[in-house]
A and B are shown apart, each in its own frame.
Chain A
């Protein structure tokens, strides 16, 4: 931070950072649309962090890798469907494209959801049995994160004979060629934007209903609020935990497809890290452990960082995101909506 202060004088003198207010004003609506698409992806991933935190008081640091696995899951699904990375699904016609995307999303969700459950089983459950302190869980999560990343980096190419791309990068997959569908306050809204926002909203709504209006959701909330009493009342805590990881993982897998639509070159072993970090920031921003907070935080972060990008320049996008996080926490130490999944309104 002192670097910031030191650099500050110099920066202002040299005009290194242009405060391009004009760019923000001109592109306000298109930035908003774009920000909302990113934001809804963050939101979906953030839900995974928030649910697990709510139930276990655990930062599932490996969730970003679950997301990354989801990207490979949908990639593999598309390959199985005979999709060519350099091709364009959209040329197959709208209906078939939707089917393709739907199947790919299911593939991603299956891989991510499965991986999340395996992660819980292999890494976290033994620790829970031993009643380990929080830091031990976090270290395990970091370890698991390394393992998953390196597995995809080095082992997966060998197993698949480079079918999913080589060691370092995958081919960008342009699933849908963005084309403007209509204008909103002068901003072009593309088919990609529409698919992302609509799918994310539908999933967010579904998960909100699931947590707040089903028997399983009630179990999740009960365990989040008071695990001991919940167990005494006959809720199987272990089953709830598995369910939580499954739901969080599946949403990450769905987000993975949406992310690939938006950023075709994103499918890479290290592609989960920064996104995971941002999604986690989004969860904290909204109030970690709070489902609707995660959704709100995601959208807010997505939009704000694009405004910041327009204002300061592309390279400052991530800085804007983290500074925003720190600022919000300084004034609202438990996030915008406050924590607690258990107290979420039904």
Chain B
């Protein structure tokens, strides 16, 4: 420690493309932002209907891929709370996904001993009833896993969560009288609405695949609605005492504790909220596929979810959604493709190598852009917008003058 250090000024201002976009966006009036957001969501929602030429997958149903993306996006948002915001390394997140899916399965599948749909719960509304139960049970499991283990330091927590994820899968596999073991649970309930002559089992039935608005489209739309809801909730948390506590824990847990942050409590909250979102996604999955088997919940999937979060940019809610999109979409993009822009390719062969490319991409990304593709600083204050807009304007003005005097004289 020497005195020369005291005179060092911060690095000169440099506005990147992302910063300019943020500056422009934040300076927009609230109403404009809302309109733009709604239009954006609508455009995304129209994807399975418009089926844009190159974007649409060839080998698998595009709407189905998007529906899967919806679930992964939810998972990424949930895991982002735990890993991206709070900095707790959870390698067993798939366990929560599994618990959510299996709860719905156990409650509504005829092959489950705890099936409720043949007594007092109707097949039509069974799924809807099971979803909140699934979320609650997953939240509880997050609490049960978190309360003894969250006192462990980072790397130990990682291995314990990994073990948890494996245990959940093994339980699903081994408790065969309850979970059906490797055969899984079938005929899981789904919401039966919008029945018609063409869709005798309603719009959400996996049966209607050939029709223009197939079940995938409807599940995608449902998941979009849930994503927006979850984003609002998580956003509200982020811009509050809770989000600030999370980031403080990530940055320096001891200092946070000494600044009066009940760190254990907020770590537990992060775990619980992350778990419930994972459970919600699992419940969605069970309803869409109407079938759960243990192999879907391999620990390797936890790694994929983690990749979605890291790829998108930890801490950035919208970034991790794009990360989830990349994870789900890219392998499917190549499936069944024989040419791309006129160049002949063997799409299936490429799709075979997806994990290879994926691993390579991760390694390269970590070297050159470890903060992810879309890093963004979180906004942690509810009413901080105007302060930041004014500050950014000053920043922009200063960059315009090309002589940013950052040492303090710029006012």
- Residues of A with Cβ closer than 8 Å to B? 1-7, 10-11, 14, 16, 53, 57, 59, 122-123, 126-127, 130, 132-136, 138-140, 142-151, 154-155, 273, 277, 280-281, 284, 288, 313, 315-316, 318-319, 322-323, 325-326, 329-330, 333-334
Contacts and interface: CB of A to CB of B under 8 A. Distances in A.
A140 B156 contact: no
Interface in B41-75: none
Contacts of A145: 359
Contacts of B355: 146, 149-150
Contact of A136 (B83, B155, B370): B370
Given A2-B141, A59-B155, A139-B310, A315 B174 contact: yes
B296 interface: no
Question: Which of B138, B160, B163, B352 has most A Cβ within 10 Å?
Answer: B163
A1 B363 contact: no
A138 B155 CA distance: 10
Given A2-B140, A59-B158, A123-B363, A135 B303 contact: no
A301 to B, nearest CB: 12
Given A3-B172, A155-B356, A325-B163, A14 B141 contact: no
A333 B156 contact: yes
B395 interface: no
B363 A144 contact: yes
The 5 A-B residue pairs with the shortest CB-CB distance, nearest first, are A146-B359, A143-B362, A322-B163, A150-B356, A147-B359
19 contacts: A1-B144, A3-B141, A7-B178, A10-B175, A10-B177, A53-B155, A59-B158, A127-B370, A134-B154, A135-B314, A140-B362, A143-B360, A143-B361, A146-B362, A147-B363, A150-B359, A280-B159, A319-B167, A319-B171
A178 B102 CA distance: 42
A96 B259 CA distance: 69
B145 A135 contact: no
A135 B310 contact: yes
Contacts of B356: 146-147, 150-151, 154-155
Contact of B177 (A16, A315, A326, A329): A16
Contacts of A313: 174
Interface of B: 83, 87, 89, 98-99, 102, 113-114, 137-138, 140-141, 144-145, 148-149, 151-156, 158-160, 162-164, 166-168, 170-179, 299-300, 303, 306-307, 310, 314, 352-353, 355-356, 358-363, 366-367, 370
Given A127-B367, A132-B370, A315-B170, 18 more contacts: A1-B164, A3-B99, A4-B167, A14-B177, A16-B176, A130-B370, A139-B307, A143-B359, A147-B360, A150-B359, A154-B356, A281-B159, A313-B174, A318-B166, A319-B167, A323-B167, A329-B149, A330-B149
A315 B169 CA distance: 12
Given A142-B362, A146-B355, A281-B163, A288 B174 contact: no
Nearest to A57: B155
A277 B166 contact: yes
Contacts of B99: 2-3
B7 to A, nearest CB: 24
Contacts of B178: 7, 10-11, 16
A18 B143 CA distance: 29
B102 A3 contact: yes
Contacts of B314: 135
B144 A333 contact: no
A62 to B, nearest CB: 10
Contacts of A16: 175-178
| Consensus secondary structure, chain A interface | helix
Contacts, number: 163
Contacts of B153: 333-334
A126 B358 CA distance: 19
A154 B175 contact: no
Question: Which of A53, A151, A319 has most B Cβ within 10 Å?
Answer: A319
A314 B158 CA distance: 26
Contacts of B152: 329, 333
A225 B300 CA distance: 33
B158 to A, nearest CB: 7
A252 to B, nearest CB: 18
Contacts of B370: 127, 130, 132-133, 136
Contacts of A329: 149, 152, 156, 159-160
B359 A144 contact: yes
Contact of A3 (B151, B171, B310): B171
B141 A1 contact: yes
A57 B144 CA distance: 28
A202 to B, nearest CB: 29
Contact of A316 (B148, B160, B174, B307): B174
Contacts of B363: 122-123, 140, 143-144, 147
Given A59-B158, A334-B156, A11 B175 contact: yes
B167 A333 contact: no
Nearest to B114: A10
Nearest to A143: B362
Contacts of A323: 163, 167
Contacts of A135: 83, 87, 89, 310, 314
Given A135-B89, A323-B167, A277 B175 contact: no
B170 A318 contact: yes
B307 A142 contact: yes
A53 B153 CA distance: 14
Contacts of B300: 273
A14 to B, nearest CB: 6
A333 B158 CA distance: 13
A7 B175 contact: yes
A2 B366 contact: no
A154 B163 contact: no
A34 to B, nearest CB: 21
